[in-house]
Structure 1
Amino acid sequence: MNDHEQQQPAPRRGKVLEALTRAERRAFTRPAPKSAKAQVKFLLTRAKGSTKALAERLGVSRRTVERYRAGTLTTPQKRLRAALVEETESEWQPQVRAQVRAAAATSRGMMVDVTAFFGFTCKGTSDDGRERQVTTEISPTYAKQILELQEAGATEEDLHPIVAEAITESYFTDWGTRADGLRADFTQVLKIEFRF
């Protein structure tokens, strides 16, 4: 069995977490490295030159990392290619990422475009849940909570209630001017995108 065959599958993340990551990456001012050799070289600088640490992070052998750094291997298999892109982009332009996140959490907030199943509870009445497409703003207060949860390693299930609360505040209750006491939950997220 060679190094490529020993690779483990990459873990799956939920749609909300992936959408937050995509929103951050759209803020990049320069493109991330594209070739496997350039990605490995960049990641090695972030790992302080440790081929062992990078190999563990990517789920490959140390020798595989050395071969990509030297350019003797150039075309990674699908799982390694995905890991290289993910790891490179997660480390790329940390200052740009931090500035965008800080602005969203303090002044700008962010936008969300979601297609999901929304269910409601309200004082004195009920509204059967159904699939809806909602595009709305998320206040800086909720943006800060969502980004802090993401940073703390929250799961998809941890994020759903806070995102639903944020959508309820801006879209369904119009910042508290109507539908007092309404609470919306969403499940079965079909599509979600955030914009900073």
Structure 2
Amino acid sequence: MADSIGNSLDRALEKVFTRPAPKSTQAQMKYLVKQLKGTKAAAQALGISQRTVERYVKGQLKRPRQELRGRMEGEVRKRWQPQIKAKARKKAASTDGLVVSTRARFGFTSAEGTTDDARIRDITQALPPEFADRLFTAREQGANEKQLQQIAADGLAQMYFRDNNSRAQGLGVEFTDVEHIRIDL
């Protein structure tokens, strides 16, 4: 299964954490209860009973099912160090930009109607802050993977294929069959 751009954006922000997130089940549950301001809210977020949450907090339960463990880790990562993530996002969107490394199928159409057959390419390209801002904003607004792919394709088209719009004017780039993608800040 191909990587998703949304998950890659999340992983890029997680790399800027200054402290590790809680690891043990009990520590994660205590963190969620504190962040969500109560065991009832934590139970609703995780889709389990309030009593089960209380048992994890007290240490009476220690090993959650795999699916619950995944939900807990996801909820903790989503809420962990929000100021650090916001600062990194702002920096990427205003001054630094981001780096996209991908292996995907790229095809082209030009203004004159000529085409080039799509082929798999490995590309690592720095994108300017405007594309970082567009990607993060779209992700926050709930954009789907296809919309995020289009923003990334626009950035790669401008910076990699059109050399920051200094050549190949009007070249359209199709970005499909993503085998892997990694985004770094």
TM-score range, shorter chain: over 0.9
TM-score in terms of structure 1 length = 0.90
* CA 1:14–1:59: 2 relative to 1, 3 Å: farther
2:178 and 2:48 mapped to 1: Cα distance? 33
Structure 2 residue 18 is the aligned partner of structure 1 residue 47: no
Once the two structures are TM-superposed, the CA of residue 158 in structure 1 deviates from its matched residue by 1.6
User: For residue 120 of structure 1, what is the aligned residue in structure 2?
Assistant: 108
**Identity across matched positions, percent:** 42
Aligned pairs (5 A) from 1:1-196: 15-48=4-37, 50-124=38-112, 125-196=114-185
User: For residue 4 of structure 1, what is the aligned residue in structure 2?
Assistant: none
Q: Check whether the contact 1:14–1:156 (CA below 8 A) recurs between aligned residues.
A: no
1:78 and 1:118 mapped to 2: Cα distance? 37
Give the SS at the match of 1:178: coil
2:46 and 2:147 mapped to 1: Cα distance? 26
Give the SS at the match of 1:169: helix
1:13-50 C-alpha deviation (Å, 9 max, x unpaired): 961111011101011111000001000111111111x2
1:19 and 1:86 mapped to 2: Cα distance? 14
Large movers: runs of 4+ above 3 Å? none
User: For residue 5 of structure 1, what is the aligned residue in structure 2?
Assistant: none
1:42 and 1:127 mapped to 2: Cα distance? 53
1:154 and 1:51 mapped to 2: Cα distance? 31
1:52-105 C-alpha deviation (Å, 9 max, x unpaired): 211111111111111100100111111011111111011001011001000010
1:47 and 1:58 mapped to 2: Cα distance? 11
Q: Check whether the contact 1:117–1:132 (CA below 8 A) recurs between aligned residues.
A: yes
Q: Which runs of 5+ in 2 are unaligned?
A: none
Q: Check whether the contact 2:99–2:125 (CA below 8 A) recurs between aligned residues.
A: yes
User: Which protein has greater RCO, CA pairs closer than 8 Å, 6+ apart?
Assistant: 2
Computed over aligned residues only, the root mean square deviation of the Cα atoms, in angstroms, reads: 1.3
Q: Check whether the contact 2:127–2:159 (CA below 8 A) recurs between aligned residues.
A: yes
